[in-house]
């Protein structure tokens, strides 16, 4: 059975507990009985379980004349381990804990990266779960359940109210409204009738339909979204780890210095082989990458933990680096900038009368517009009489008898000539120009009022976007909604640029175009299934916590509270965390710059020597410094900290 990095980390950590106890007890001059042999046994198992992959990677890099972080790990652990075995049998101090804990700390970072890749796989799994498992297909004059993979192009498929549409196709009979929010991201249902296209995995709302399959299997829109997410997640060039850059220079330099140290002491100063080896070992031990191994994971753990307390989940270290070069932020509209559901924004006419009639007609409707109207009716505590002789006029609205009089509610098609006054006509035009959906309410063959409905921006969206623009970031809205609606929302919140009427597949392409047109990095913020390819394609994918599972899995940062002000906070803590990593690496190297010459015996004539045990102590102190530096992230001031907003 192949162990995961996380499993190898926990096994290694548990095995290393006796060495940790001994390290903590050292200042009190307590020695664990049989410690040297316990350390030998546990470290040997750790080397077999955890260190061998790094040794293999280092050897592969060496064969290509390269050095990386794994080379540094392999050199440090190998020297510390095998010298400790030599020391064990010659009565000298052992350094098994150095070999063990270097491996463990580096393994922790790899475990976190592995978790990120697993999340990517989970995202694809959740997308595939959206597909229906079977479809009602016409066979020999009867509708029978057929597994999805057996549906063919040209098959006639029946879909009942509330069911998911199996594959892409064209309606041949019936009419309905379809919830296409999964694909378009828009909350408004779309009216569908004969000849209109339907998309697989969208939800049929209130009418039975027959449709002919036009795309099945890998050709459906959902399958194409899955493929785009897969490509986007694997197309990211891996970030060039800072420690790898350092290791490429540092490792060869340390090895050369160690060899020179041994040669100089053995050949020119006529030291014994053991003495010369001790100087060389001291060089390698003090250069052992414990602090380097801690620099990234400790800062990442503290930074992400701090962010989590603020309601911001940062999934990986790549987002930290990309945030430093961020230049453009692209927003989805529905559910991201806006609330994601329609609400009544304007009432024209006598509110009591208009809402009373509207309540009577819309009481039993499940249409999102009707629900928005009923929410307004309840908010105003309007009492309304029951409607009789209810009649649904598809594509127009509904009509019924209210208090014995004919009443109606619906779009402009409901109003016959002369039923809509010039004043109401003028006001309706104004509301429509504001990209609002206008519902007409009438009684006794006369329109008595208008109800304007719109998916409104979140109260904090404008503030958040203003703060992002103040940081020098360009803001873009990318939406599948029509241009007028998108532009109206953009004007309300201060968005710089609008890209509207974009299909899911085109969202990822638009992100690529923006990336090509700017020298900096691009972030995308979204919440829907249709946003998944764009979230994966962008340099930083930011998902709203209220969004779909696939969006959350595809994003590198998740805003739990669904407040765009958290973007400002997330960017600030990302930058501070990454800067802390660079500071940690600086401190880790400073110890080596100071310690290596001393360990090599350059100041031995002054009585200043660094034995392997002192070198190990200096290495441990550098690790403590790095950990302390990372912990200071908890005290760093974060812009727009939500915890401060609550105070």
Q: Are 504 and 511 in contact (CB under 8 A)?
A: no
Closest CA to 122 of 584, 554, 512, 605: 554
Cα 131 to Cα 126: distance, rounded to the nearest angstrom:
10
pLDDT at position 644 over 80: no
Q: Rounded mean pLDDT of 481-486?
A: 82
More confident residue, 207 or 228: 207
339 token code pair: 């609330």
Q: Give the contacts of 19 (CB within 8 A, at least 6 positions apart).
A: 38, 39, 42, 43, 96, 97, 100, 101
pLDDT of residue 41: 93
Residue 108: beta bridge partners? none
Q: Are 361 and 410 in contact (CB under 8 A)?
A: no
Cα 564 to Cα 624: distance, rounded to the nearest angstrom:
37
Cα 522 to Cα 607: distance, rounded to the nearest angstrom:
56
pLDDT of residue 238: 42
User: What mean pLDDT is reported for the chain?
Assistant: 81
pLDDT tens digits, residue range 578-587?
Answer: 888 888 888 7
More confident residue, 587 or 490: 490
For 16, 235, 409, the CA distances from 515, given in Å and listed in that order, are 46, 14, 47
Q: Rounded mean pLDDT of 9-17?
A: 90
pLDDT at position 232 over 50: no
pLDDT tens digits, residue range 45-85?
Answer: 999 988 888 888 888 888 877 776 677 678 777 877 888 89
pLDDT tens digits, residue range 445-469?
Answer: 889 999 999 888 998 999 999 999 9
pLDDT tens digits, residue range 339-379?
Answer: 888 899 999 999 999 999 999 998 877 777 888 999 999 99
Helix (H) or strand (E) holding 440: strand 437-443
Closest CA to 337 of 466, 202, 239, 506: 466
pLDDT at position 124 over 60: no
pLDDT of residue 45: 93
Residue carrying the six token digits 């296209």? 197
pLDDT of residue 183: 63
pLDDT of residue 37: 92
Residue carrying the six token digits 């197309």? 235
How many beta carbons lie within 10 A of that of residue 206, not counting itself?
Answer: 16
pLDDT of residue 16: 87
Q: Rounded mean pLDDT of 22-31?
A: 76
pLDDT tens digits, residue range 538-590?
Answer: 999 998 877 666 677 778 888 877 889 989 888 888 888 888 888 888 877 77
More confident residue, 516 or 278: 516
Closest CA to 266 of 256, 257, 253, 279: 279
pLDDT of residue 475: 96
Q: Rounded mean pLDDT of 1-26?
A: 83
Alpha-carbon 593 to chain mean position: 38
pLDDT tens digits, residue range 367-411?
Answer: 778 889 999 999 999 989 988 888 877 777 888 999 889 999 988
Catalytic residue numbers?
A: 332
Cα 608 to Cα 594: distance, rounded to the nearest angstrom:
13
pLDDT of residue 234: 47
Q: Rounded mean pLDDT of 594-602?
A: 83
pLDDT of residue 477: 95
Q: Are 547 and 335 in contact (CB under 8 A)?
A: yes
pLDDT of residue 619: 63
Residue 524: beta bridge partners? 330, 541
pLDDT at position 32 over 80: yes
Cα 618 to Cα 83: distance, rounded to the nearest angstrom:
18
pLDDT of residue 14: 92
Q: In 3-state terms, the chain is what percent helix, strand and coil (to 5)?
A: 55, 20, 25
Cα 533 to Cα 124: distance, rounded to the nearest angstrom:
11
pLDDT at position 106 over 80: no
Helix (H) or strand (E) holding 302: helix 290-309
Q: Rounded mean pLDDT of 75-102?
A: 81
Q: Give the contacts of 131 (CB within 8 A, at least 6 positions apart).
A: 148, 200, 201, 222
Alpha-carbon dihedral angle through residues 344, 348, 350, 352, given to the nearest 10 degrees: -10
Q: Are 330 and 476 in contact (CB under 8 A)?
A: yes
pLDDT at position 498 over 90: yes
* Burial degree of 500 (CB within 10 A; 0-12, 13-18, 19+): middle
pLDDT at position 104 over 70: yes
8 token code pair: 């190898």
pLDDT at position 235 over 50: no
Strand ranges of the sheet holding 156-159, from the earlier edge strand across to the other edge:
142-147, 134-139, 156-159, 209-215, 168-173, 197-198
Strand ranges of the sheet holding 446-454, from the earlier edge strand across to the other edge:
343-348, 446-454, 437-443, 405-410, 397-402, 387-393
pLDDT at position 23 over 90: no
pLDDT of residue 236: 44
More confident residue, 397 or 109: 397
pLDDT tens digits, residue range 289-344?
Answer: 566 666 777 787 788 778 877 778 777 767 777 787 899 999 998 888 988 888 99
Tell me how far apart the terminal alpha carbons of the chain are, to the nearest angstrom.
51
The torsion angles phi and psi of 3, rounded to 5 degrees, stand at -85, 145
pLDDT at position 608 over 50: yes
Q: Rounded mean pLDDT of 236-264?
A: 72
pLDDT tens digits, residue range 412-440?
Answer: 877 775 578 889 989 998 998 887 889 99
Instruction: Lowest mean pLDDT of 279-283, 474-478, 486-490, name the range.
Output: 279-283
């Amino acid at each position: 059975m192949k162990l995961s990095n996380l499993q190898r980390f926990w096994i290694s950590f548990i095995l290393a507990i006796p060495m940790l106890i001994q390290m903590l007890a050292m200042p009190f001059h307590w020695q664990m009985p049989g410690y040297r042999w316990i350390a030998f046994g546990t470290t040997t198992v750790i080397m077999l379980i955890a260190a061998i992959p790094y040794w293999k990677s280092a050897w592969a890099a060496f064969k290509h004349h390269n050095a990386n972080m794994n080379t540094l790990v392999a050199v440090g652990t190998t020297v510390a381990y095998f010298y400790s075995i030599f020391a064990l049998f010659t009565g000298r101090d052992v350094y098994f804990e150095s070999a063990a804990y270097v491996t463990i700390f580096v393994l922790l970072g790899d475990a976190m990266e592995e978790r990120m890749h697993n999340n990517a796989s989970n995202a694809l799994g959740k997308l595939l779960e959206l597909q229906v498992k079977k479809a009602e297909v016409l066979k020999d004059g009867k509708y029978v359940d057929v597994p999805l993979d057996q549906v063919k192009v040209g098959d006639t498929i029946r879909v009942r109210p509330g069911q998911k549409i199996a594959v892409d196709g064209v309606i041949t009979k019936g009419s309905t409204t379809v919830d296409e929010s999964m694909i378009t991201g828009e909350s408004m249902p779309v009216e569908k009738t004969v000849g209109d296209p339907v998309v697989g995995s969208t939800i049929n709302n209130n009418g039975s339909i027959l449709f002919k399959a036009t795309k099945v299997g890998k050709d459906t829109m959902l399958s194409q979204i899955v493929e785009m997410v897969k490509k986007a997640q694997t197309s990211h060039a891996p970030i060039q780890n800072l420690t790898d850059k350092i290791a490429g220079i540092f490792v060869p330099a340390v090895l050369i210095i160690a060899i020179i140290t041994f040669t100089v002491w053995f050949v020119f100063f006529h030291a014994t082989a053991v003495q010369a080896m001790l100087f060389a070992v001291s060089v390698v031990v003090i250069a052992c990458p414990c602090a380097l191994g801690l620099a990234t994971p400790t800062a990442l753990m503290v930074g992400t933990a701090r962010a989590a307390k603020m309601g911001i989940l940062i999934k990986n270290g790549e987002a930290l680096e990309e945030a430093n070069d961020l230049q453009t932020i692209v927003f989805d509209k529905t559910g991201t900038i806006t609330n994601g559901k329609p609400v009544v924004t304007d009432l024209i006419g006598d509110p009591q009368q208009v809402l009373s009639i509207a309540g009577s007609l819309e009481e039993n409707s499940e249409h999102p517009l009707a629900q928005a109207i009923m929410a307004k009716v309840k908010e105003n505590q309007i009492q309304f009489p029951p409607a009789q002789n209810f009649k649904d006029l598809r594509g127009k609205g509904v009509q019924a008898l209210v208090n014995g009089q004919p009443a109606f509610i619906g779009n402009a098609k409901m109003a016959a000539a002369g039923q809509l006054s010039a004043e109401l006509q003028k006001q309706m035009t104004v509301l429509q120009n504001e990209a609002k959906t206008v519902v007409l309410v009438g009684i006794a063959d006369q329109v008595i009022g208008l109800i304007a409905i719109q998916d409104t921006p979140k109260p904090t969206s404008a503030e958040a976007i203003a703060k992002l623009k103040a940081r020098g970031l360009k803001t873009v809205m990318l939406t599948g909604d029509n241009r007028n609606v998108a532009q109206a929302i953009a004007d309300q919140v201060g968005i710089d640029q609008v890209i509207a009427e974009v299909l899911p597949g085109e969202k990822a392409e638009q992100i690529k175009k923006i990336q090509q047109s700017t020298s900096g990095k691009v972030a995308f913020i979204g919440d829907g299934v249709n946003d998944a390819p764009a979230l994966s394609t962008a340099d930083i994918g930011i998902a709203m916590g209220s969004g779909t599972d696939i969006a959350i899995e595809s994003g590198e940062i998740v805003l739990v509270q669904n407040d765009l002000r958290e973007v400002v906070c997330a960017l600030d803590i990302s930058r501070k965390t990454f800067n802390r990593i660079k500071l940690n690496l600086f401190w880790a190297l400073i110890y080596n710059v100071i310690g290596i010459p001393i360990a090599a015996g350059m100041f031995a004539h002054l009585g200043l020597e660094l034995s392997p045990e002192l070198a190990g102590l200096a290495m441990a102190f550098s690790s403590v410094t790095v950990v302390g530096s990372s912990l200071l992230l908890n005290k760093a001031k974060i812009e727009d900290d939500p915890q401060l907003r609550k105070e």
